[in-house]
Chains A and B, each alone.
Chain A
Amino acid sequence: MKSLGAVVALLLLLGPVDLLAQGSTTIRLGTILPTNSVWDKALKRMGSEWRQATAGRVNLRVISGGVQGDESTIIRRLRLNNPQAAALTQPGLTQVSDVFNVFGIPFFFESDEEALHVLKELTPMFERALGEAGLVLLNWGHGGWAHIFTADQVANLDDLRKTKIFTSAGDDQTTQWYKENGFRPVPLAITDVLMGLNTGLITAYPSPPYAALLLQWYRQTPYMLDIPLGLVIGATVMTERAWRRISAADQTAILGVAKTMEGQLWADVPLQEREAVAEMRKRGLTIATINLAAQKEFRATADALTASMRGRMVPDEAYDLALRARNSFRATQ
């Protein structure tokens, strides 16, 4: 019996080690992105591929549709390590760090390629900012390009100044910035936008085309300005606490899968946006196009205005890095 006791003791000793090496971990991921949307499906596909790539050691449970609360709540929950991961959108990321306000500068970027170039150049800075909040970046998401939808046709910045434009209640900096630059911002809770549009309280709002279609807001605003206001980025992040429990080899494997998902999203979302615009046009949306000369003027004016965001809404370092990366990209075009 002595030998059996030794075996049991050995098993007890080895047990925990063995479990650590071969046991599986389940990562819960929260997001406000809608169930069955292109993002939700991509995340779930990624989870399925994580499991395959790690032979079942890393499992992902995607809880989408805002079931775990809004982004502020999800971010607070991340600090409790429950959920251990999240797919955050631009507003959520700015709650983690104001360096993400780079992507909130109006009319700063012109194309996916330009925005992606800046995103890649600034990734070390963004990773540091996420790291300070205890988060690890897994991939970048694409939320579509926000455009300004208006009740009346808009051809230039002066026209835009005349609209009553929605800003998020609580985002005092943006509201103040709009006011100082001659716009007429109307801060509202996002749940009051439809009421605001129906009553004329607001006559313009920025939104990616897909969201304007999904929420049906475009039916109150039959014009969409063709110059995009900005790219709505997103990021899939994991808490460092959860990340450390994954072996180095599995970390490499799941990062590879996450990168594949990123590439897929950066192809699928622009396609979805084009389809959304086409469907809205069939139902009465007019694209307010601005000719090339006017576009240049529009962007030059916007650049002069948004320079005042440096150091105030966007940290100096982030603003300078973004501007340099963007301009160097444009120089190569």
Chain B
Amino acid sequence: MRMAILDLSYLLAQIREITRSARRRIALVVVVLVAGTGCSFRSMAIRTFADVIAESSSVYSSDEDPELVRDALPFSLKTLEMLLESSPEGKGLLLSACSGFSQYSYAFLQTDAEITEWDDYARAEELRTRARKMYVRARDYCLRRVELDHPGITARLQLDPENAVTVFDATDVDTMYWLAGSWGLAIASGLDQPALVADYPAVREVIQRALKLDEDYNRGALHVAGITIESMPAEMGSSVERAREHFARAVELSRGVDASPYVTFASSISVETQDRAEFEELLNSALMIDPDEEPSLKLLNLILQKRARHLLGLVDELFGEPVAEGEFAR
């Protein structure tokens, strides 16, 4: 299962809810770090430091150099965890940690694992294992976030996901998106782990519920997730037709400037249906998107275009010559 939506502007953006003036905040951080006393001061310092990081989010998403972001993000993520130690129930912090770790893992671990796989399998395995663990870490932050509003929801999602998701409302959609994303990606990278595989219905139900609550969320992000859900084996009740509907709607909502519906559909449904022409057309469409057209999607599109080029290089591996029924029959 792939979740190709990345929105790095989202990273830490939730922390903005606790922001005010940057200059005063930095002064406060300095004062409190020097003084090192007082619970309220400490709390204010955490909030303000978080905000300083938050203000840099667009600096990531609009960056033209993914390698620079790869090196810079871990510091922000560890800082978030540091802040969470002091403020373990910070709702914005929890969601930011969930989305941030998911995105880092997808952009810089899973994508690299896929690209490395056929040249250096041991390295790819190492990256994939790191990716899986990071998705699980991300998922656990999202679960901590939803537990704050819906105590006991984790167990209910595992035991009875269809009914569990009915407690979510429109205010939960952000968290639902990242919860399903991190969880789904963890499962997809760990199909040899029954404890992960078992929770797939929770992922599917969360996405479907979120689509009902906020269909056009984040320029069609939930529809891209819907493509992935519908590309699971038909034995699980998935449908290529529904995947096509999600794709069309995702392209419509993103006005064609987001590469994720194209890359997700091509790498799942086009491969599954062995439609080579469609595969090449969609990936070329993704490559034709000008990353400068939508600055908030610049980094996402650059990373997806790297993946699209890699996939196009595999076209002969993924699409064999058609074999007619009865040909070479014994």
**A and B: interacting chains:** yes
Q: Which residues of A contact B (CB under 8 A)?
A: 28, 30, 34-38, 40-41, 44-45, 47-48, 61, 63, 66-69, 73, 76-77, 79-80, 82-83, 133, 190-191, 193-195, 210, 213-217, 219, 268, 272, 275-276, 278-280, 282-284
**CA–CA, A35 to B188, complex, Å?**
9
Q: Which of A48, A77, A215, A217 contacts B122 (CB 8 A)?
A: A48
* Inter-chain contacts of A69 with B (CB < 8 A): 274, 320, 323
The 28 sampled A-B contact pairs (Cβ below 8 Å) are A30-B320, A36-B188, A36-B191, A36-B192, A37-B191, A38-B191, A44-B117, A44-B124, A45-B125, A47-B121, A61-B118, A61-B317, A69-B320, A76-B329, A80-B321, A82-B321, A191-B235, A193-B235, A213-B194, A216-B236, A219-B201, A272-B192, A275-B193, A276-B198, A279-B195, A280-B198, A283-B198, A284-B159
Top 8 closest pairs, chain A to chain B, by CB? A48-B121, A38-B192, A279-B198, A79-B328, A276-B194, A275-B194, A191-B234, A36-B191
A63 engages B317 (CB within 8 Å): yes
State whether the Cβ of B318 lies closer than 8 Å to any Cβ in chain A: yes
Closest to A278 in B: B194
* Inter-chain contacts of B158 with A (CB < 8 A): 282-283
* Inter-chain contacts of B191 with A (CB < 8 A): 34-38, 40, 214
Segment 114-130 of B: residues with Cβ below 8 Å from A: 117-118, 120-122, 124-125, 128
* Inter-chain contacts of B200 with A (CB < 8 A): 214, 216
State whether the Cβ of B14 lies closer than 8 Å to any Cβ in chain A: no
Q: Which of A35, A193, A283 contacts B159 (CB 8 A)?
A: A283
Closest to A211 in B: B235
Q: Which of B125, B195, B318, B320 contacts A275 (CB 8 A)?
A: B195
Q: Which residues of B contact A (CB under 8 A)?
A: 117-118, 120-122, 124-125, 128, 158-159, 188-195, 197-198, 200-201, 233-237, 271-272, 274, 317-318, 320-321, 323, 327-330
B192 engages A194 (CB within 8 Å): no
* Inter-chain contacts of A76 with B (CB < 8 A): 323, 327-329
**CA–CA, A195 to B234, complex, Å?**
11
**CA–CA, A193 to B235, complex, Å?**
7
Q: Which of B188, B272, B323 has the most CB of A within 10 A?
A: B323
* Inter-chain contacts of A67 with B (CB < 8 A): 271-272, 274, 318
B235 engages A215 (CB within 8 Å): yes
* Inter-chain contacts of A34 with B (CB < 8 A): 191
Q: Which of A35, A36, A47, A219 has the most CB of B within 10 A?
A: A36
Shortest Cβ distance from B157 into chain A, in angstroms?
11
B159 engages A37 (CB within 8 Å): no
* Inter-chain contacts of A68 with B (CB < 8 A): 320
B125 engages A41 (CB within 8 Å): yes
Shortest Cβ distance from A99 into chain B, in angstroms?
15
Shortest Cβ distance from B21 into chain A, in angstroms?
48
**CA–CA, A47 to B200, complex, Å?**
30
Shortest Cβ distance from A262 into chain B, in angstroms?
17
**CA–CA, A173 to B201, complex, Å?**
35
